[in-house]
Structure 1
């Protein structure tokens, strides 16, 4: 084991994982866009033209204007911005950890079934609007970490968070991470600074609640058809009582508690080695509780867990020590911590968490790499 780990460069492996995940995410987003996917593409095309102001409608109206100006297919226009947002996130994250002293335990977070590996496990995670939040938070943390977050830039982020909420209301439920990042960097509570971030997402959310129309007011499919997009399922067909759906599929949804318990243990074990972990643990529990309405209102439980893990992966870079090389990493020492971390990684690679439905299945990366190909060959 010692001979194996002494040649294992954690930082190079993280770069490799970032590249593979980015290519996979961008490739499948492209595939979904080309086939007029009713969830991934159509979600970006909710618009104000059908019935007026509504949740998520800003993006569709913006893309309609661009199509009118350029004459380019909506599929291509949407993908161009998805490419910038998704690619931008992976680029900023790479810059964020470039000179950080990463260790085996931090790598385990990326290999969590609801971390970077979650994208490889569950293709329906790709192309979603939460990448806007990932990009904003990664850049926010990057500026914080390099002492470049000025007062003016903070207000710019508030404006961007407001816009992001109009693009997808999920932004509201994860805004506590911006306040937690400020605390982790500065080591003190600054309530007045945090307030403006909550106001930035709270105001558009309140406007949506008071004046927002339905996602589909009856003309959306016709409008899209005239513009060359023909989804045959998805957000514009959505007519499900989500709370009732969860009750009817309680067996599958109860499995999410297994995945949640594994993730809580994983994060708890990581926090064990951080300074000031007790108060940070309380803040992270608070951030999770703040998002609980999402689990009550919408069926994508795996997706909400995945967003939490991705934001924590970004957040924890603030606690990593800076080094002098882009290849710097903490050498692996064979001890009890190593074996526990290795056990967590193997378990993470064994299972996956579906976006909605089965909350725990033994069809993770190891299954897809070694079992599924054999099953396919056997069928042939």
Structure 2
């Protein structure tokens, strides 16, 4: 069978379902692994609390989990993982529902295979179990309701309340709230500034309270409080005393590599937008969303993480623009032409390189290296 005939029968939708399942399983397994070894970032970030010093950024989750532990007597590791499991599973399930009756194509699949998309989770294990999955879940649910015409005014206010609470769990939501406004624009086709304002206020007010009244993440007793509750992190956020701006400057030779990943991602997204209607307005809005997040890149060292969140939000956002399908397995058949070859080249390159959360912004240790080469290197060492 010739390649042109073979690719006609490649079901893009089935492959996307498979990728969702693999990524979800991988994320849940490694989140569990890091939780039960008392990881100082993936577990401990959920255990920042108000008991040590009072009101602070991210402290709501820890105080909530302490309350649950007091009521149930269960280990914090189990309690936190239960909620992580619900949040992470909920995101992947809702995303699958969002695209279920959509016509997906090879170019849309290429977004998921981006080194800072779904494949980013497989490339960089430290992306798992983070609080941004709450943002992914909220935005996917929001987009799903928009797509189905079920986002009532009452539900909009529920989302605003959820965004307010989520900001108290992790302030990162502030920098990605423009995607909610962009999704509304894509659905309605008009700018509704008053409608958008309540979303920005929902994250802006708690952020302002944190800036004005917030204490340090660790006021001196956090580790003792956790130890008394059976958790013993030996590194991580409670030990963090690095000036992040100085760190970036000192490691500028590594951080400059993020420019390579960023430029390739811009090319990738630009090529995707080329085939969309009203792409000029959408391009401006997406640039605006990225510029809105620039303070993150100045304040914190996890540049790969910030890029990864942007790509995940856009993957969900672009699902709004996919054509409707009567079948859950509907996809656009692959045609061998110039678009196919460019998309294929994008996919291959995406699988070759890797973007670390912080540090090296570009290495040739992508999923192909990790699957095909790294095991052989390990065997040779053994």
Equivalent residue in structure 2 for 1:71, among 70, 73, 76 = 73
Deviation (angstroms), 1:208: 0.1
Deviation (angstroms), 1:378: 1.5
Deviation (angstroms), 1:242: 0.1
- Partner residue, 1:2: 4
- Partner residue, 2:216: 214
TM-score (norm 2): 0.99
- Partner residue, 1:102: 104
SS at match of 1:319: coil
CA distance in 2, matches of 1:38, 1:230: 9
| Pair 1:61 & 2:63 matched | yes
| C-alpha distance after superposition, 1:290-326 (max 9, x if no partner) | 0000000000000000000000000000100110000
TM-score (norm 1): 1.00
- Partner residue, 2:122: 120
CA distance in 1, matches of 2:155, 2:76: 32
- Residue pair 2:57, 2:169 contacting (<8 A) in 1 also: yes
What pairs with 1:109-258 in structure 2 (closer than 5 Å)?
109-258=111-260
Unmatched 5+ stretches in structure 2: none
| C-alpha distance after superposition, 1:155-209 (max 9, x if no partner) | 0000000000000000000000000000011100000000000000000000000
CA distance in 2, matches of 1:13, 1:361: 26
CA distance in 2, matches of 1:370, 1:84: 32
Deviation (angstroms), 1:211: 0.1
| Pair 1:47 & 2:45 matched | no
CA distance in 1, matches of 2:53, 2:262: 39
CA distance in 2, matches of 1:250, 1:375: 29
CA distance in 1, matches of 2:375, 2:83: 34
What root-mean-square deviation, in Å, do the aligned CA atoms of Structure 1 and Structure 2 show?
0.4
Equivalent residue in structure 2 for 1:361, among 340, 360, 363 = 363
| C-alpha distance after superposition, 1:94-114 (max 9, x if no partner) | 000000000000000000000
SS at match of 2:324: coil
CA distance in 2, matches of 1:202, 1:60: 22
SS at match of 2:295: helix
| Pair 1:376 & 2:378 matched | yes
- Partner residue, 1:305: 307
| C-alpha distance after superposition, 1:125-150 (max 9, x if no partner) | 00000000000000000000000000
| C-alpha distance after superposition, 1:259-313 (max 9, x if no partner) | 0000000000000000000000000000000000000000000000000000000
Deviation (angstroms), 1:4: 2.7
CA distance in 2, matches of 1:68, 1:198: 35
- Partner residue, 2:24: 22
| C-alpha distance after superposition, 1:332-376 (max 9, x if no partner) | 000000000000000000000000000000000110111111111
Unmatched 5+ stretches in structure 1: none
CA distance in 1, matches of 2:367, 2:329: 26
CA distance in 1, matches of 2:367, 2:234: 31
CA distance in 2, matches of 1:70, 1:261: 50
Deviation (angstroms), 1:379: 1.6
- Partner residue, 2:293: 291
CA distance in 2, matches of 1:143, 1:288: 24
The number of equivalent residue pairs is 380
Deviation (angstroms), 1:8: 1.0
- Residue pair 2:9, 2:333 contacting (<8 A) in 1 also: no
- Residue pair 2:120, 2:354 contacting (<8 A) in 1 also: yes
CA distance in 1, matches of 2:29, 2:202: 33
